[in-house]
């Protein structure tokens, strides 16, 4: 096909030889199949920042280190320069996250680099050599669902081990290849240490994946991986190969009414003593 305008610079630079077809037009990016020498790869072309919701973006951006204050102010002002900077942060977040996660034992497409706002990625293929389907496009046995759910929960754990929460995990952003789930689509990845919403974002990610796999293995709906993982995080016990159970003891301690009543009585007696002493002094 004729090369889209945004990919032309990569062709001019010899990074891409040919654009084969448009693969998918998502809400935030257009993905193409491209040929680079002998290899078929994906080219993810980010849509303009104006096409995305700023409100949601602000929640995710919270705490993201943007030290240069001119840059920060410009981003806040939504000036043209600001929009460009926001766009750049968005794009580099994805390529950085892909590189970090590949090293952290999370199955993600290999990133070949970000060039002029176009991310070159390993094409994930299924058993048949065709482009791998998204979870949303497949069904599976209960056994497979249990296995893959456990894998994804471990990926969530490993992401948090390197300080990241995906932030948009769902059956639309996980592909299925021969070996199981492959996580994609990370421009909104959240820095857990610097974001006050990190826990609820992680809970949302875990819940959407659990609901998906529970369609095939209903008992998964009763698991509590988000709480378990977050507790490990808070206690400083996160390890990439930590054993997860999905069980979580929510605090069920009953209020001990008797002890509370006794404390109130004691405080009352103290106060009566104090008043008595005071009146004795006054007399
Ligand atoms: N590495 C890849 N291999 C195969 N297909 C991919 C790959 N990356 C993206 N896709 C396809 O392109 C779609 C859009 O990519 P995604 O990164 O999710 O961007 P968006 O923000 O537009 O959702 C995905 O749902 C998937 O079908
Ligand atoms: Mg997506």
Task: Report the alpha-carbon distance of residue 256 to residue 27 in Å, rounded.
Answer: 53
Task: Report the alpha-carbon distance of residue 222 to residue 19 in Å, rounded.
Answer: 46
Q: Give the residue numbers spanning the domain of 155.
A: 8-234
30 Cα nearest atom in ligand 1: 22
Q: Which-ligand-closest: CA of 24?
A: 1
Total count of domains within the chain = 1
Task: Report the alpha-carbon distance of residue 84 to residue 16 in Å, rounded.
Answer: 24
Per-residue burial over 136-172, b if 16 or more Cβ lie within 10 Å, else e, is eeeebeeebbbbbbbebbbbbbbbbbbbbbbbbbbbb
Residue 81 is predicted with a pLDDT of: 73
Kind of pairing between the strands at 29-36 and 39-46: antiparallel
Pocket flag, ligand 1, residue 45 (CB < 6 Å): no
Residue 208 is predicted with a pLDDT of: 98
Residue 172 is predicted with a pLDDT of: 96
Local structure of 198: helix, strand or coil: helix
In a domain, 242, yes or no: no
CATH assignment of the domain containing 79? 1.10.510.10
In a domain, 173, yes or no: yes
Residue 89 is predicted with a pLDDT of: 80
CB of 90 within 8 A of CB of 185? Answer: no
Task: Report the alpha-carbon distance of residue 177 to residue 231 in Å, rounded.
Answer: 31
In a domain, 263, yes or no: no
From the list 120, 54, 125, the residue with the least C-alpha distance to 90 is 54
In a domain, 141, yes or no: yes
Q: For the chain, list residues with pLDDT below 50.
A: 55
Residue 175 is predicted with a pLDDT of: 98
Q: Which-ligand-closest: CA of 23?
A: 1
In a domain, 277, yes or no: no
H/E run at residue 33: strand 29-36
Nearest protein Cα to ligand 1, atom 23: 26
Q: Which-ligand-closest: CA of 187?
A: 1
Q: How many angstroms separate the first and last alpha carbons of the chain? A: 103
CA of 250 to the centre of ligand 2 (A): 33
* Residue 147 CB partners (closer than 8 Å, separation 6+): 180
Q: At what angle do helices 80-103 and 54-61 cross, to 10 degrees?
A: 50
Task: Report the alpha-carbon distance of residue 88 to residue 282 in Å, rounded.
Answer: 75
26 Cα nearest atom in ligand 1: 22
In a domain, 82, yes or no: yes
Of 44, 87, 101, 112, the residue with max ligand 1 atoms within 8 A of its CB, to mutate for a pocket test, comes to: 44
Residue 204 is predicted with a pLDDT of: 98
In a domain, 104, yes or no: yes
20, with CB counted inside 10 A (0-12, 13-18, 19+), is: middle
Pocket flag, ligand 1, residue 169 (CB < 6 Å): no
In a domain, 81, yes or no: yes
* Residue 273 CB partners (closer than 8 Å, separation 6+): none
Tokens linked to 149: 């759910």
* Residue 72 CB partners (closer than 8 Å, separation 6+): 66
Give start and end residues of each alpha helix (H) in 218-256.
225-234
197, with CB counted inside 10 A (0-12, 13-18, 19+), is: middle
* Residue 92 CB partners (closer than 8 Å, separation 6+): 114
Pocket flag, ligand 1, residue 167 (CB < 6 Å): no
Task: Report the alpha-carbon distance of residue 104 to residue 113 in Å, rounded.
Answer: 18
Residue 122 backbone phi and psi in degrees, to 5: -60, 135
pLDDT digits (tens, 9 = 90+) for 161-206: 999 999 999 999 999 999 999 999 999 999 999 899 999 999 999 9
Residue 170 is predicted with a pLDDT of: 97
């Amino acid at each position: 096909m004729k090369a889209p305008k945004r990919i032309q610079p990569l062709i001019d630079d010899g990074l891409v030889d040919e654009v084969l077809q448009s693969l998918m037009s998502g809400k935030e990016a257009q993905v193409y199949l491209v040929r680079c020498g002998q290899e078929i790869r994906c080219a993810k072309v980010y849509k303009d920042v104006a096409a995305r919701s700023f409100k949601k973006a602000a929640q995710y951006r919270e705490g993201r280190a943007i030290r240069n204050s001119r840059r920060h102010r410009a981003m806040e002002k939504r000036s043209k320069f600001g929009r460009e900077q926001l766009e750049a942060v968005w794009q580099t977040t994805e390529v950085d996250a892909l590189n970090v996660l590949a090293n952290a034992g999370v199955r993600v497409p290999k990133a070949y680099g970000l060039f002029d706002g176009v991310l070159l990625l390993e094409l994930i293929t299924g058993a048949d050599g065709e482009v791998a389907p998204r979870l949303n496009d497949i069904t599976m046995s209960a056994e497979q669902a249990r296995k893959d759910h456990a894998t994804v929960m471990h990926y969530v754990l490993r992401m948090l081990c390197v300080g990241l929460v995906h932030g948009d995990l769902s059956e639309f952003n996980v592909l299925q290849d021969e070996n199981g789930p492959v996580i994609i689509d990370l421009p909104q990845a959240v820095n857990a240490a610097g974001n006050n919403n990190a826990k609820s974002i992680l809970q949302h990610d875990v819940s959407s994946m659990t609901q998906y796999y529970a369609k095939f293995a209903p008992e998964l709906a009763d698991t509590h991986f988000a709480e378990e993982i977050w507790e490990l995080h808070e206690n400083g016990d996160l390890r990439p190969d930590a054993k997860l159970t999905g069980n979580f003891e929510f605090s069920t301690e009953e209020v001990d009414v008797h002890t509370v009543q006794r404390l109130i009585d004691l405080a009352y007696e103290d106060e009566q003593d104090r008043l008595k002493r005071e009146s004795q002094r006054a007399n």
